């Protein structure tokens, strides 16, 4: 039987490389491209059954616009972007092929699928959607079928708000003017854990987190809510002995848990 050929643009590293390894275990013939590989994005668009866009968020639109018009109706164009609304709309607009939006809800170091979910957004066509869904389920991942709107709304909490909070922590400590080396002498276990995350985000892949915040359609809403909450905490903490802030937290806990 003919092997399914897959071309992963941005497959030399990160999530593209993770998908390449996974698809090889499923018998696919996988080609990967990066900025320095001999094989190019347009090469894989011309020769592969499945073309996956796995480049940094800021480069995604350019790559889709480049390869989309080369895709034929029997091919699949898919992406791995952490945002779904814009990439899926672009893939539909710039190609005539089947389209699937995909977002693994974990990083490239994951090798054990247990407990990990992958969001799939139907773009165009059913056969390739069912193919990739089956591949993920067969290899042990959970699949969440969602629309791009549903995905991006939830990511405005899980990623935009969450990472915004971490970025604010790192920037506020930098702004305080107290050297981290001095603060570290007093570090508690929870502070150490949080600073490990701050370090990873600020030094390893700041472009990924900046893109996740800048590109979410709900960005303004999330930032406004965050600012409002910080202002409320400031007002509540100034009254009494923290009693009002405690009451506000208890009211929030009732909504949350
Ligand atoms: N990292 C995560 O935790 C995670 C999780 C889920 C989804 N995602 C999504 O996965 C996508 C890739 O992120 P990543 O973290 O895997 O990035 P990454 O580790 O930086 O890898 C990016 C890949 O794209 C290639 N590349 C970089 N710039 C390019 C350009 N301008 N044109 C063509 N290729 C380019 C790189 O190859 P060369 O360096 O060899 O050129 C590399 O293979 C993003 O859309 C991100 O939102 C990431």
CB 15 near ligand 1, within 6 Å: yes
Whether 89 and 216 map to the same domain: the answer is no
Residue count (the chain): 257
The confidence score (pLDDT) of residue 123 equals 98
At residue 217, φ and ψ (nearest 5 deg) are -60, -25
Whether 218 and 99 map to the same domain: the answer is no
Q: How many domains does one find in the chain? A: 2
Range of the domain at 180: 150-256
Identify which of 18, 34, 67 to mutate to test ligand 1's pocket (most ligand atoms within 8 A of the CB): 34
- Distance between Cα 161 and ligand 1 center (Å): 22
What integer best gives the mean pLDDT of the chain? Answer: 97
Residue with tokens 């013939």: 29
CB 104 near ligand 1, within 6 Å: yes
- Distance between Cα 10 and ligand 1 center (Å): 6
CB 14 near ligand 1, within 6 Å: yes
pTM as predicted: 0.95
pLDDT (tens digit, 9 = 90+) per residue, 61-109?
Answer: 999 999 999 999 999 999 999 999 999 999 999 999 999 999 999 999 9
Whether 157 and 133 map to the same domain: the answer is no
Closest to 82 (Cα-Cα) out of 109, 122, 118: 118
């Amino acid at each position: 039987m003919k092997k399914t050929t897959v071309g992963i643009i941005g497959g030399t590293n990160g999530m593209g490389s993770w998908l390449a390894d996974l698809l090889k275990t499923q018998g696919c013939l996988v080609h990967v491209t990066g900025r320095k590989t001999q094989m190019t994005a347009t090469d894989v668009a011309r020769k592969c059954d499945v073309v996956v866009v796995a480049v940094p968020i800021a480069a995604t639109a350019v790559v889709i616009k480049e390869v989309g018009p080369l895709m034929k109706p029997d091919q699949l164009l898919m992406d791995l972007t952490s945002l779904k609304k814009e990439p899926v709309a672009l893939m539909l607009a710039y190609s005539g092929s089947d389209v699937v939006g995909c977002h693994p809800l974990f990083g490239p170091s994951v090798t054990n699928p247990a407990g990990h979910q992958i969001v799939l957004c139907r773009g165009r066509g059913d056969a390739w959607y069912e193919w990739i869904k089956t591949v993920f389920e067969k290899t042990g991942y959970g699949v969440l079928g969602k629309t791009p709107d549903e995905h991006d709304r939830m990511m405005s909490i899980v990623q935009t708000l969450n990472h915004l909070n971490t970025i604010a922590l790192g920037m506020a400590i930098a702004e305080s003017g107290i050297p981290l080396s001095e603060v570290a002498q007093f570090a508690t276990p929870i502070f150490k854990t949080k600073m490990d995350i701050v370090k990873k985000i600020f030094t390893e892949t700041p472009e990924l987190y900046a893109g996740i915040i800048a590109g979410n359609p709900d960005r303004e809403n999330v930032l406004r809510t965050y600012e409002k909450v910080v202002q409320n905490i400031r007002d509540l903490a100034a009254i009494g002995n923290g009693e009002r802030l405690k009451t506000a937290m208890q009211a929030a806990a009732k909504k949350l848990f």
